[in-house]
Amino acid sequence: MGKCLIFCAADFDGLAEEIQKDDYILAADGGLVHVEGLGLTPHGILGDFDSLGYVPQGSAVFPVEKDDTDAMLAVRKGLEKGYKEFLLYGSLDGPRLDHTVANFQTLQYLCDHGAYGYLIGKDTVVTVVKNGTLRFPATAEGIVSVFCMGCAARGVTLEGLQYPLVGGTLTAGFPLGVSNHFIGQEAVISVTEGSLLVLFDRKNGLPVRG
Amino acid sequence: MGKCLIFCAADFDGLAEEIQKDDYILAADGGLVHVEGLGLTPHGILGDFDSLGYVPQGSAVFPVEKDDTDAMLAVRKGLEKGYKEFLLYGSLDGPRLDHTVANFQTLQYLCDHGAYGYLIGKDTVVTVVKNGTLRFPATAEGIVSVFCMGCAARGVTLEGLQYPLVGGTLTAGFPLGVSNHFIGQEAVISVTEGSLLVLFDRKNGLPVRG
């Protein structure tokens, strides 16, 4: 099964990943501009269209006064279709910091519903890993920051990084895992109980999950 | 007792609040540039000075390889001195999204240590409220977003906002409280168990806490 690609309104400097035939493409409100710019045909267009400013033909229109962000609407649609891996392009680097925070929590929503996702910005990728592992190849470079997401994250292990950790606990009340560094080894980030918010350079591509 | 004003490296388009005689001024690494630009004399200068690029006279130098961010070093110093209210200027809008997330958790650290703080950026202010209340005057305008910080936030009440809530629960797994709006009434945001991350427009000034 392919991936669910969700295009949001913020900039992301083009696609780095190849789109496969069985990928499912959704435009979230203003993200339709990116989809059209890339010459893609979306399988769905969702939103309240307050940022796009018009309602495109064949789109699923939701009221402005709703509990879901446009990104959440698209995530729900992808989960309904059974997708497990979500790439949210243009979900960082927007003018609204609160939308970025909402998208962090959307990553947690995916993990709480048996899936996972990546927020893809211009230079940065953000993901959440819950009771699991991320593996980065030895070619990974730059900074990787690891934060507790939600309740305390226990059994946190960081291997192959400048500042290793074995079975540690991270909480939302102290940013111990900020500004770690790849060091030319395979890097493993894992948590046995709880979730981690992980930020890294987009040029490293996406990690292997286990 | 005055406030602890911490100047970080990012831009914040000048001071909106008046500095009082009994305020305690700390420069965190590159934030010294702002302190000097404002013609202020800091009571302390802390950091590893990797971003400033030189070590200013009379500064407290910490190794680059440390568990604390420069903002955390300054927060610890202010807490040692007994300050309860912290304003962190230039702690948003920087090039590093992970530093912004680290600063969110620094706000939680303050609340977990009997204090509270505000991250002050160019247009946005971010705070954390733990088992408490924020009151905004009827003159407050624009968007206010409320997120769960850490474990589930219970007994969340939002009054005088476009989307009210009474005794609700917020979790890090669903951004229910994003993009709420002030509506020309006194607005009250409160939580009885847990913490909320609250983002609002800087032009509204700072809320009353209780």
Three-state SS sequence of chain B: CCCEEEECCCCCCCCCCCCCCCCEEEEEHHHHHHHHHCCCCCCEEEECCCCCCCCCCCCEECCCCCCCCHHHHHHHHHHHCCCCEEEEECCCCCCCHHHHHHHHHHHHHHHHCCCEEEEECCCEEEEEEECCEEEECCCCCCEEEEEEEEEEEEEEEEECECCCEEEEEECCCCCCCCCEEECCCCEEEECCEEEEEEEEEHHHCCCEEC
Alpha-carbon gap: A150 to the closest alpha carbon of chain B (Å): 4
The per-residue pLDDT for A57 is 84
Provide φ and ψ at B75, rounded to 5°: -60, -45
Report the chain B residue with the minimal C-alpha distance to residue A96.
B124
pLDDT above 90: residue B58: no
Chain B partners within 8 Å of A65 (Cβ)? 162-163
The per-residue pLDDT for A145 is 98
Residue B63: pLDDT band (50, 70, 90) is confident
Residues of A with a Cβ under 8 Å from any B Cβ are 65, 67, 69, 72, 92, 96-106, 108-109, 111-112, 121, 124, 126, 143, 145, 147-152, 162-163, 171-176, 178-179, 195, 197, 199
The per-residue pLDDT for B210 is 86
Report the chain B residue with the minimal C-alpha distance to residue A151.
B151
CB B91 within 8 A of CB B7: no
CA distances from B40 to B20, B57, B205 (A): 12, 15, 22
- Which of B97, B111, B171 is closest, CB to CB, to A150? B171
Report CB contact under 8 Å: B102, A175.
Answer: yes
Q: What is the mean pLDDT of residues A174-187?
A: 97
The per-residue pLDDT for B172 is 98
DSSP 8-state assignment for residue A162: S
The per-residue pLDDT for B118 is 98
Q: Say which range, A55-59, A85-89, A180-184, B81-85, has the weakest mean pLDDT.
A: A55-59
pLDDT above 90: residue B66: no
Q: What is the mean pLDDT of residues A89-116?
A: 97
The per-residue pLDDT for A168 is 97
Residue carrying the six token digits 């890097």:
A187
CB B100 within 8 A of CB B17: no
Chain B partners within 8 Å of A108 (Cβ)? 172-174
> What's the whole-number average pLDDT of chain B?
95
Residue B64: pLDDT band (50, 70, 90) is confident
Distance of alpha carbon A168 from alpha carbon B157, whole angstroms: 34
The structure tokens listed for A80 are 């309904």
The per-residue pLDDT for B179 is 95
Q: What is the mean pLDDT of residues A107-126?
A: 98
The per-residue pLDDT for B51 is 81
The per-residue pLDDT for A51 is 81
Residue carrying the six token digits 């669903």:
B174
Query: Could you write out the DSSP letters of every residue in A189-205?
Result: EE-SEEEEEEEEEGGG-
Sign of CA dihedral A152, B130, B89, B70: negative
Chain B partners within 8 Å of A9 (Cβ)? none
Report CB contact under 8 Å: A97, B100.
Answer: yes
Say how many residues make up chain B. 210
Residue A66: pLDDT band (50, 70, 90) is confident
> What's the whole-number average pLDDT of chain A?
95
The per-residue pLDDT for B65 is 81
CA distances from A200 to A96, A127, A166, A189 (A): 20, 9, 20, 12
The per-residue pLDDT for A58 is 83
Chain B partners within 8 Å of A126 (Cβ)? 97
Distance of alpha carbon A144 from alpha carbon B146, whole angstroms: 27
Which residues are registered as beta bridge partners of A85? A116
Which residues are CB-neighbours of A51 under 8 A, at least 6 positions away?
Answer: A9, A29, A30, A70
Residue A188: pLDDT band (50, 70, 90) is very high
Q: What percent of chain B has pLDDT over 90?
A: 87
Residue A60: pLDDT band (50, 70, 90) is confident
pLDDT above 90: residue B130: yes
pLDDT above 90: residue A48: no
Residue B52: pLDDT band (50, 70, 90) is confident
- Which of B99, B149, B178 is closest, CB to CB, to A98? B178
Model confidence pTM above 0.90? yes
pLDDT above 90: residue A63: no
The per-residue pLDDT for B201 is 98
Identify residue B48 by its one-letter amino acid code: D
CB A28 within 8 A of CB A76: no
Report CB contact under 8 Å: B105, A174.
Answer: yes
DSSP 8-state assignment for residue A94: S
Q: What is the mean pLDDT of residues B13-42?
A: 93
The per-residue pLDDT for B18 is 86
Say how many residues make up chain A. 210
Provide φ and ψ at B35, rounded to 5°: -60, -45
Residues of B with a Cβ under 8 Å from any A Cβ are 65, 67, 69, 72, 92, 96-106, 108-109, 111-112, 121, 124, 126, 143, 145, 147-152, 162-163, 171-176, 178-179, 195, 197, 199
Distance of alpha carbon A38 from alpha carbon A32, whole angstroms: 10
Report CB contact under 8 Å: A173, B112.
Answer: yes
Residue carrying the six token digits 């989307």:
B163
